[in-house]
Structure 1
Amino acid sequence: MLPADSNAPGGAPGADDPHPIAQLGITGAELESSLTRRVDWQQLVGALPHLVWVARPDGYHEYFNQQWFDYTGLTLAESLGDGWNPPFHPDERPLARRLWDEATLTGEPYEIEYRLRRHDGVYRWMLGRAVPLRDESGTLLKWFGTCTDIEELKVALDDAAELRHELERRATRDSLTGLANRELLFEQMEHKLSQRRRTGMAVVYMDLDWFKEINDRLGHSAGDRLLAFIGERLRDTVRQGDIAARIGGDEFVVVGEAQDHEEAERFAQRVVEGVRGRLSVSGESVEVAASVGVTYVDAADTRSADTVLAHADARMYEEKRRR
């Protein structure tokens, strides 16, 4: 049995009787047992590393342990009833209220993760749980609830999620330019090839002109900055749904929708114009230019991504030899 409220209003029965215990029909052994249970309860909830609370069957919060008051800075009067909700982060208050209402209506256990305001104004993540306590007949007597600090766990999980995202990004993205890498390019091309219905596709294979000379003259760091800059220009040039990838060295591939060969050629020209221009690298003005080969893939074409790329690559080298 949970402890009775020691501050309940009203006088005790038999207050004027020299033997009030006898008037209540309580033996000395029963009184000692009741007091022992109350002491045991207070010791238990005081030793738990949780904020502990007790609510009536209708959801009215009527008890909090000292850890609750120490953490929130609230008084008992401020916490009773629905006073537990205001310290919740504003983003989680409506959900906490709704879940608690559902729990008290259905008698099902309550569980939620939320941020709880500390006495100094800092919010920390908590895991809130409550279970219904019932008698032998199944009647709900009380709700016993706890708030467990999970801030460090949430931070660790967030860090792990960021690390996983970064590893996934590195597995599919070129580390220097942030563009798709070869693996992601093939995956997305195969998907686009399988999803074509009424429109075709332009595949542009691009190789930077004079990159080796720039790299040899200005150094590899300057060459890396040039490649990163090309990545930025390509991201600004492509349309939503297009694919831009660096597949190695100074070679890039851009894929986009096209209705016919002419539109594919215009698409390739836009890519070239997007990267063309002068760039300051290591204090020197560098002229950026590129050679491209473009392949148009119509809706009925059954070639694989590897074959299409090989065709575009061959056309790019044809153009480079003509220069």
Structure 2
Amino acid sequence: MHLRELFDRSFKAARIGVWECSLPDQTLKWTDTVYEFFDLAPQTALARDEIVRLYTPGTRRQLNELRDRAIRTGEGFTLDAQIVTAKGNNRWIRITACVEFAGGTATRIFGVKQDITAEKTMMEQLRHLAERDILTGLTSRTRFETFLSEICGADGHGAKALLLADLDGFKSVNDTLGHQAGDDCLKVAGRRLSRAVPDAHMVARIGGDEFAVIHPCSSPEDLAKIAARVVKGMHWTISTPARNIRIATSVGAAIIVPGQSPKDIFAKADHVLYEVKSAGRNGFRIAPSSRSALEAAPATLLKDGNRLTAGRF
């Protein structure tokens, strides 16, 4: 009896409950801990159809498939299941199931359920931290690189382009006003960039004052318009009692060709970005693309609002 009490207390402390379902009448039996998971009073009458409706639709489909297969084959399963409890609370439970047979027929399916809500919440927070730039809230470089690789490896999902943007004048903000002002400048830049490309698949901060955009693109002319919006939208003045600091942006863009390596696509956009900076900053250039994708676009600089055609590369 003492060992049984220790066993029950240990399971309760670990947020683990025991369950069983008799076959074929579908009668459910739970320990008190499982009732707690579903926000039901212990010993509440259980109807399996009503309980199954507490699982989210996606989890319900998975559970039914795994359960049917287990009853058919005798192989158990483990499933992380999402539920909305009787009181409307979202919760995650890990279901472990085994099947008991008699005379070649499944007579009982049983196992344990464990509350893993805290684990799922922590994992989601870690995923969010890994995928988001903490300062600006934009996508992180890690997630950007993953997404770019996925785009380059996909076929038939519409033409897309990569735009790289560097702030012009950011060093003056840090040197003159300090790092807090520099951080504020980057936050403003992130908001302005997001507003300039509302239809982007992804907007990321990939370095100190370096940003990247992956955007739908129907033609080189379309890409030129997108790049021009970025340059225009990320142009503002920081006013201080001592001086005014003008922030501008240089952009290099390249059409994403499926099958070409992400490294090569990035290098093409980065190369023309460097050319913009070398030519005076505050403008954009578009890298040539293979004829099998989209025709190469003119490389263009914007100087004080006037467009200057620099020719094809």
Asked whether the equivalents of residues 176 and 224 of structure 1 are also in contact (C-alpha less than 8 Å), the reply is yes
Q: Is the counterpart of residue 127 in structure 1 residue 87 in structure 2?
A: no
- Please say if 1:176 is aligned against 2:135: yes
1:225 to 159, 184, 191: 184
* Offset of residue 306 of structure 1: 2.0
Secondary structure of the equivalent of 1:313? helix
- Residue 61 (structure 1) aligned with residue 27 (structure 2): yes
1:270 deviation in Å?
1.2
Q: Does structure 2 retain, via aligned residues, the 8 Å contact 1:244–1:253? A: yes
Tell me the amino acid that sits aligned with residue 119 of structure 2.
Answer: A
Between 290-299 and 96-105, report the one with greater CA deviation: 96-105
Partner AA of 1:216 in structure 2? D
Larger % of strand: which? 2
1:90 aligns with 2:49: no
User: How many angstroms does 1:155 deviate by?
Assistant: 2.5
Larger relative helix fraction: 1
CA distance in 1, matches of 2:30, 2:199: 56
TM-score (norm: length of structure 1): 0.54
Compute the displacement of 1:236 (Å). Answer: 1.8
Which TM-score applies when normalising by structure 2?
0.55
Deviations 1:276-309 (A, max 9, x none): 235688x99966531535567698xx97642542
Q: Alpha-carbon deviation of 1:314?
A: 2.0
- Hey, what's the Cα distance between the residues in 1 that align with 2:200 and 2:70? 49
Secondary structure at 1:290 match in 2: strand
Residues 271 and 46 (structure 1), Cα distance of their counterparts in 2 relative to 1, 3 Å cut: closer
Decide which of 233, 237, 251 is 1:274's aligned counterpart.
Answer: 233
Matches within 5 A, 1:1-323: 49=11, 50-51=17-18, 53=20, 55=22, 57-61=23-27, 64=29, 67=32, 73=41, 75=43, 79=45, 83-86=47-50, 90-91=54-55, 102=68, 106=72, 108=74, 115=83, 125=93, 127=95, 129-134=97-102, 138=103, 140=105, 142-143=107-108, 145-146=110-111, 148-151=112-115, 153-164=116-127, 166-167=129-130, 169=131, 174-177=133-136, 178-179=138-139, 181=141, 184=144, 188=148, 203=163, 205-209=165-169, 211-241=170-200, 244-252=203-211, 257=217, 259-260=219-220, 264-278=223-237, 288-292=246-250, 294=252, 305-320=266-281
The alignment-based identity, stated in percent, is: 16
Q: Report the Cα distance in structure 1 between the residues aligned to 2:210 and 2:269, rounded to whole angstroms.
A: 16
**How big is the shift at 1:312?**
2.7
What secondary structure is seen at the aligned counterpart in 2 of 1:58?
A: coil
Per-residue Cα deviation, 1:257-290 (whole angstroms, up to 9, x for no partner): 3634x65544332112212235688x99966531
* Comparing 190-199 and 244-253, the one that deviates more: 190-199
Q: Tell me the amino acid that sits aligned with residue 83 of structure 1.
A: A
8 A contact 2:200–2:213 mirrored in 1? no
Alignment-derived partner of residue 30 in structure 1: none
Does the CA-based 8 Å contact 1:272-1:289 persist in structure 2? no
Distance 1:229 1:145, change over 3 A: same
- The alignment partner of 1:319 has SS state of coil
Deviation at 1:90, TM superposition (A): 2.0
Match of 1:5 in 2: none
Aligned residues: 261
- Superposed CA RMSD in Å reads 5.5
Deviation, 1:220, is 0.9
Distance in 2 (alpha carbons) for counterparts of 1:229 and 1:275: 9
Whether the 8 Å CA contact 2:204–2:213 is kept in 1: the answer is yes
The C-alpha deviation readout for 1:194-237, integer Å capped at 9, x for no partner, is 9799979575654323x333323321101111112101211221
Q: Which has the larger radius of gyration?
A: 1
Deviations 1:140-160 (A, max 9, x none): 4842634x3411x45324423
Rounded to whole Å, the distance in 2 between the matches of 1:107 and 1:220 is 63
Amino acid at match of 1:212: K
Tell me which amino acid in the other structure corresponds to 2:108.
W
